Amino acid sequence: MGKYAQIVIGPAGCGKSTYCHTLYEHCLAIKRSVHCVNLDPAAEAFQYPVSFDIRDLVSLEDVVEELGLGPNGGLLYCMEYLEDNLHDWLGEQLESYGDDDYLVFDCPGQIELYNHLSVFRSFVDFLKNDGWNVCVVYCLDAHFITDIAKFMAGALQALAAMVKLELPHVNVLTKVDLLEDKRHLDDFLFPDSALLLPQLAASTGPRFRALNKAMGQLLEEFSLVSFMPLDITDEDSIADILGQIDIAIQYGEDAEPRIREDEYDPERDGDGDGGDGGDDI
């Protein structure tokens, strides 16, 4: 038994909420309970039911109106306010969840929140101290692969989040179903600097050669960044991603196998005594 959580992060517009919706619909279809949580104080509408919402604590609209901040400054204020209220507000929300509960946190898109600030590290530490098995799901738009420079930047952002948060981490290449040309998709699922650097050099020019080489070496030395493709039109796609996350957080490993009463048939053992099928002595 355990408590499990996904923290879904990534750049703005990369498909985090669509991923959460797709995951929720998949779990609904396989009769598996999952609870979606909104941690974006600027969110307006959802395709999935929200179990609890940061906007009940603080909303970007109220902060901008009352403090006169811009949208980015207001978002930073909201997340720092959440950090200050983790024990009171978040702790109270989590009290209603226990063993075998599975939460999916849909997070805001500004990368500085998890690359430069302490709020998400404080958040994941709070969850871990409360007994939650946590996995980070980093979403990156598949259209980044059409521009090698953008893809390298996205891969480095994913690596930075992995190093910063120090959690089991699954990187997801979203919107694969919208790609017109998927012939070279596999080249980006397991980035190989020897393959990607010549493309990067051709698109950025010779003056960036040393920088390109350093970025390629960084990804190569850590050897941590790989991606799983998400095609929301393919049920197997989300099932594969969920299976990988389940392995990362050891979901269900300590569950005892159970036989439903309507599935049990004493005649199956051959002698009708409910035994193991062996000969009677």
Mean pLDDT for 236-259 is 81
- Gap between the Cα atoms of 256 and 95, Å rounded: 25
For 21-62, the pLDDT digits (tens) are 999 999 999 999 999 999 999 998 899 999 999 999 999 999
Distances (CA, A) of 229 to 107, 143, 238: 20, 12, 9
Question: Which tokens belong to 224?
Answer: 């941590």
Mean pLDDT for 163-179 is 93
| For helices 148-165 and 193-204, angle between their N-to-C axes, nearest 10 degrees | 130
Q: How confident is the model at residue 3 (pLDDT cuts 50, 70, 90)?
A: very high
Q: How confident is the model at residue 253 (pLDDT cuts 50, 70, 90)?
A: low
For 194-241, the pLDDT digits (tens) are 888 888 888 888 888 899 889 888 888 888 899 999 999 999 999 999
- Gap between the Cα atoms of 50 and 172, Å rounded: 22
Long-range contacts of 212-221 (CB under 8 A, 24+ apart): 212/152, 215/152, 215/156, 216/152, 217/193, 218/156, 218/159, 219/152, 219/155, 219/156, 219/159, 219/191, 219/193, 220/193
Mean pLDDT for 131-156 is 93
Mean pLDDT, the chain, rounded, equals 87
Report which listed range, 52-56, 181-185, 252-256, is most confident.
52-56
pTM of the model: 0.86
Distances (CA, A) of 191 to 78, 145, 182, 195: 35, 11, 15, 8
For 76-130, the pLDDT digits (tens) are 999 999 999 999 999 999 999 988 899 999 999 888 888 778 899 999 999 999 9
Other residues' Cβ atoms within 10 Å of the Cβ of residue 12: 11
Which domains does the chain show, CATH number per domain? 3-144+168-181+227-255 (3.40.50.300)
| For helices 209-222 and 193-204, angle between their N-to-C axes, nearest 10 degrees | 160
Q: What is the pLDDT of residue 171?
A: 96
CA atoms within 13 A on the CB side of 275: 9
Angle at 90 between CA 105 and CA 49, to 5 degrees: 40
Angle at 263 between CA 261 and CA 264, to 5 degrees: 70
Taken in order 20, 21, 22, 28, the sign of the CA dihedral is: positive
